[in-house]
Structure 1
Amino acid sequence: MTDFFTTGPFVPVYLALLLVVFCRAQATYWLGYYVATKLKTNVPDDGWRRRFYDWSEQDSVKNGVATLHRRGWIVIPLSFLTVGFQSIIQFAAGLITFPPPRYTAAMLPGCFAWALIYSTIGFSVWGAIIAAFAGSPYGIILIAVLVLVLVLLARWRRKAKERLVHD
């Protein structure tokens, strides 16, 4: 499957990536919309609905909501040019119950840009970076250290949040 995205013909790769990003953005938006319209008034005790509700209460999502309120709809297509912030903005758009037709119109330019980037240079750049690092023993060590640091940082953040909740 990854060979298709890295070496396939441009138009089918572009269209496939466009479909993927469109569906992913819509799903993320509708999860946020569901949380805002169903779970905010009836907070679940546990399960997958509780996990989405808890995610809607995180600082990163609240910052995404604040950014949408502050900057407006333009943030939606621009978020597709970022890594990590994209999902937060799509979820936040659902949380503020941004009207679905306007959301779709706002996200489409971002989807087109995202698919263009990843169908041209996106996967090639990632592949080149991995190949460059994995080609040397120092690169492999660097990748392992980076992964370890990210895992430790994530665990440290989770424990710090737990300490804040319990204090």
Structure 2
Amino acid sequence: MDKIALTAGALYVIVLLRAGGTFAVGWLAGAGARRSRFAERISSARFQRAERAIQRWGAPVVAVSFLTVGFQTAVNFLAGTMRMPLTRYLPALFIGGAAWALIYATAGIGVLEVVGRLFAERTALGVSAVAALLAVCGVVVYRRRNAASSAAAETVADES
């Protein structure tokens, strides 16, 4: 069997279980999540943006969310808490999940092949590329955490 088809199939099963599970947790949590210790997280800008998009556009937002990073978890959870009917949610999950699996299977295998060749032919360049990628990821995470803590400090100061 073709490695892209096998990888895409495995990723499809994974995304259906992960996103469907996130939706189910949201469904079970329902309105209680807004009154629990998760209320602060649900009231974050990302979740509010996802909720507004779901309210405005419905199921297509779920399908398109799979083409984003970080937004899809919020969308699936909120679609569950908003009790989106399964007749609307499942087609969006199947279509969006298939797109996600195909993109990650093709791009993922391509990147792995390039990195494998780079390490085989020019090991020092391969190590340097991975180190640079890790450094960029570290800077992004650091900046996001600082921005989040600054926003939280401003909210506390405004409430005082």
Q: Which residue of 2 aligns with 1:3?
A: none
Match of 1:22 among 12, 16, 27: 16
Deviant stretches of 4+, over 6 Å: none
Q: Flag structure 1 segments of 5+ consecutive residues without an equivalent.
A: 1-6, 45-49
Deviation at 1:130, TM superposition (A): 5.2
Amino acid at match of 1:14: A
Contact 1:77 1:106 in 2 (8 A): yes
Contact 2:4 2:109 in 1 (8 A): no
Q: Which residue of 2 aligns with 1:124?
A: 109
Deviation at 1:19, TM superposition (A): 0.9
Q: Flag structure 2 segments of 5+ consecutive residues without an equivalent.
A: none
Residue 144 to residue 118, structure 1, CA distance change in 2 (3 Å): closer
- Considering only aligned residues, what root-mean-square deviation do their CA atoms show, in Å? 2.7
Matched, 1:93 2:87: no
1:13-162 equivalence runs, <5 A: 13-40=7-34, 43-44=35-36, 50=37, 52-119=38-105, 121-127=106-112, 135-136=124-125, 138-162=128-152
Question: Percent identity among equivalent residues?
Answer: 25
Q: Which residue of 2 aligns with 1:9?
A: 3
TM-score normalised by L of structure 1 = 0.74
SS at match of 1:81: coil
Amino acid at match of 1:58: S
Amino acid at match of 2:63: P
Q: How many residues align?
A: 152
